[in-house]
Amino acid sequence: MADAPTSPYLVLARKYRPRDFTTLVGQDAMVQTLGNAFAQNRIHHAFILTGVRGVGKTTTARILARAFNYEDKSGPHPTLDLSVEGEHCRAIIEGRHVDVIEMDAASNTGINDIREIIDSVKYAPSSAPYKVYVIDEVHMLSTAAFNGLLKTLEEPPPYVKFIFATTEIRKVPVTILSRCMRFDLRRITPEIMTAYLESILGQEGISFEPEALAMIVRAGEGSARDNLSLLDQAIAHGNGTVTATTVKAMLGLGDRARIIDLFEELMGGQIGQAIETMRALYDMGADPQTLVADLADFTHLVTRIKVVPSAADDVSLTPDERRRGAELAGKLPMRALTRAWQILFKGYDEVARASNGLQAAEMALIRLAYAADLPSPDDLIARLANQPAPAPSLPPMAPIGRGPSNGGGGASAMRVESPRPVMTEAVAAQPTTLQAARPAEAPVVQPAMATVGSYKELIALAGAKRDMLLKLALEGQMRPVSFEQGKIEIALVEGANPASVNTLSARLQEWTGQRWLVTVSTKPIDGPTLRQEKEERAALQRAQAHDDPLVQAILNTFPGARVVNVKVKDELDATPPDLPPPPPEEDDE
């Protein structure tokens, strides 16, 4: 005698799919609103359900279809009390009722599919009190399909109900939303989800560890279907039991306690131990990207506990996460946590793109360890406040020059520049301290009008006013012919901009407070401009300095050395000793 065929296995997500509102978990607000509407006989003709995957949108639509078409011995009457199956309930639950039409908008997106609905709406239901249209993923309908549905959706026959479900509510036109009663289905909280999974495991007679359920609930992200699918997989992976070890291996998670150890080592700057810990977790089978994600997850947890201490009471957390997370939240400053989050967030993308994920993960952890060990700006300021004043900087090296006493041709000198000092973090933070100790500034006094007594003073005034275009024009495009108080005569070089004359007149009036007459000479004026004279003089000074025997000895002693700048001795004596040397000109070597 042949064995009786066994029925195929029904996954937990289908076996324990809610069939009435008493078994629908995590959506109490929607159930209360619908209960009041049914009790007051204020039942809308169109509903739209939105939420993330697996929170019960399609399930709610089928339960609503049962509630609309509930009929018992007393006759048809819509109700949310579905504890006793009505005449149409079994057919609706099994998806074979002729008056409950389910359509997937992902595969029926066009106007022709909607036209079939519009044509069938004209006919009354065959046996049930209402004809119910359930359209899943309604946001995938085309624009023409949405427009074709508007009129029917606004004024349907009294025996027609529409129920829409979508995960992308923003893609649904507002004209559709305005015609529907909207319900936003929430993610199921960890407390409710944990209790729900425990009840299912109790009905199945399967043993479990609370830590394993916490991992599944965290991975399910508030979706009932995702949690039940993971639970199904965990039962099969654990050979009929749900343990933390098997769930870790199934999800590719590292040991949560080792993740916390790794986090502590990184935040303590113990990079050697952190790399060894990560390598050990990797050898145990943990994925590098998952390890970085776990570190970011724990960083977020510690930050949450620091801001909201009651977050440590979350039932989805392991005992180590509750206890050690609270301890770390009390020790680590907020800036260190936010900096760690930014580094891990960026490191997660780097690991995903890298050809060798382990190497990219290790580099991200090294960056985090060194960044976590850096002092904060507040610490630097506090350290500077407790340290003695810095020693004065060394005076600049005495210029090596030649004068009439040592056989030189002219009074010139060569400035030898020393390397620029490297600014440390303490020096960079010093201006903040000095600025904090700076006394109150004196009231601003309006400067007096400038006076100009010569053409060179005019060029110096343009430089002081930071009008560099006019300064360059005075030096390179004009030659002075005559200069009197209130009157200037100039000659323009070939190719000069004539508009600079008007600019000069306007600037003089603005700077001196009086009108100036600026005229252009019509006579040809030969001779170099001031810029040309300056360039010729600098070239002569460089040549004289370069030919100096002492300079030649220095250049021969230090191969590759160059004369970068030459100044007349009188100019050096006039330079304040506390000013840095001027930068070398770009065309000099």
What CATH number corresponds to the domain at position 347?
1.20.272.10
- Alpha-carbon distance values, 582 to 15, 85, 435, 536, 575 (Å): 83, 94, 26, 19, 10
Question: What is the rounded distance in angstroms from the CA atom of residue 246 to the CA atom of residue 243?
Answer: 5
pLDDT at res. 73: 85
pLDDT digits (tens, 9 = 90+) for 161-185: 999 999 999 999 999 999 999 999 9
Report if residue 280 sits inside a domain. no
Q: Of 161, 184, 207, which residue is a domain's last? A: 184
d(CA 247, CA 123): 53
CATH label of the domain that carries residue 202: 1.10.8.60
Regarding whether 178 and 67 lie in a shared domain, the answer is: yes
Using the predicted structure, report yes or no on whether residue 427 has a pLDDT greater than 80: no
395 — pLDDT class (breaks 50, 70, 90): very low
pLDDT score for 421? 41
Q: What is the pLDDT of residue 575?
A: 44
Query: pLDDT, tens digit, for every residue of 235-248?
Result: 988 888 898 888 87
The C-alpha atoms of residue 52 and residue 152 are separated, in whole angstroms, by 28
pLDDT at position 387 is 57
* Res. 344 pLDDT band, cuts 50 70 90: very high
Domain assignment of residue 338, given as a range: 258-271+290-372
The average pLDDT across 523-532 equals: 74
Residue 426 lies in a domain: no
Residue 455 vs residue 431, higher pLDDT: 455
Residue 180 and residue 41 share a domain: yes
Q: How confident is the model at residue 396 (pLDDT cuts 50, 70, 90)?
A: very low
Domain closes at, from 527, 558, 576: 527
Same domain, 240 and 340: no
Question: How much is the pLDDT for 252?
Answer: 61
Assigned domain for 471 exists: yes
247 & 262 share domain: no
In a domain, 7, yes or no: no
- In this structure, what DSSP letter does residue 535 have? H
Burial class (CB in 10 A: 0-12, 13-18, 19+), 417: middle
Domain membership of residue 380 (yes or no) is no
Give the per-residue pLDDT at 219: 83
Residues 216 and 243 occupy one common structural domain: yes
Regarding whether 25 and 166 lie in a shared domain, the answer is yes
**Measured between alpha carbons, how far is 133 from 102 in angstroms, rounded to an integer?**
6
The reported pLDDT for the residue numbered 6 is: 64
Q: Is 539 inside a domain boundary?
A: no
Question: Which of 154-168, 385-399, 419-433 has the lowest average pLDDT?
Answer: 419-433
Give me the pLDDT at residue 399, please.
41
Q: Taking residues 294-323, what's their average pLDDT?
A: 85
CATH number for the domain harbouring residue 466: 3.30.300
Q: CA-to-CA distance for 312 and 306, rounded, in angstroms? A: 9
Confidence (pLDDT) at 100:
92
Q: What is the mean pLDDT of residues 275-287?
A: 86
For residue 326, pLDDT over 60 is answered with: yes
The radius of gyration of the chain's CA atoms, rounded to the nearest angstrom, is 42
Q: Is the pLDDT of residue 95 over 70?
A: yes
Distance CA 263, CA 276 (A): 13
Least Cα distance to 178 among 202, 146, 204, 203 occurs for 146
Q: What is the DSSP letter of 186?
A: P
Instruction: Single out the residue in 184, 211, 230 at which a domain terminates.
Output: 184
pLDDT band at 360 (very low <50, low <70, confident <90, very high): very high
Q: What is the mean pLDDT of the chain?
A: 79
**pLDDT tens readout for residues 469-499:** 888 888 888 888 888 888 888 888 877 777 8
Residue 560 has which token pair?
A: 């590759």
Let me know whether 218 and 138 are in one domain: no
pLDDT score at 130: 92
High-pLDDT (> 90) share of the chain, %: 23
pLDDT of 137 strictly over 60: yes
Q: How do residues 175-215 score in pLDDT, each as one tens digit?
A: 999 999 999 998 888 889 999 999 999 998 999 988 888 88
Q: Is residue 504 part of a domain?
A: yes
Cα 480 to Cα 145, 309, 460, 484, distances in angstroms: 82, 78, 15, 11
The stretch 76-103 carries a mean pLDDT of 88
Same domain flag for 18 and 167 = yes
pLDDT, average across residues 335-347: 91
Within this chain, do residues 137 and 152 fall inside the same structural domain, yes or no?
yes
Q: Specify the number of domains making up the chain.
A: 4
**Exposure string over 15-33, b if 16+ CB within 10 A, otherwise e:** ebbbbbbeebbbbeebbee
Query: Does a structural domain hold residue 570?
Result: no
Do 146 and 41 share a structural domain?
Answer: yes
Residue 517's pLDDT is 83
Give 495-520 pLDDT, tens digit per residue: 777 787 888 888 888 888 788 888 88
Same domain? For 52 and 140 the reply is yes
Tokens of 405: 């006493």
The per-residue pLDDT for 83 is 84
State whether 117 and 157 are in the same domain. yes
pLDDT digits 0-9 by tens, 10-40: 888 888 888 888 888 888 889 899 989 988 8
Give the domain CATH number at 71: 3.40.50.300
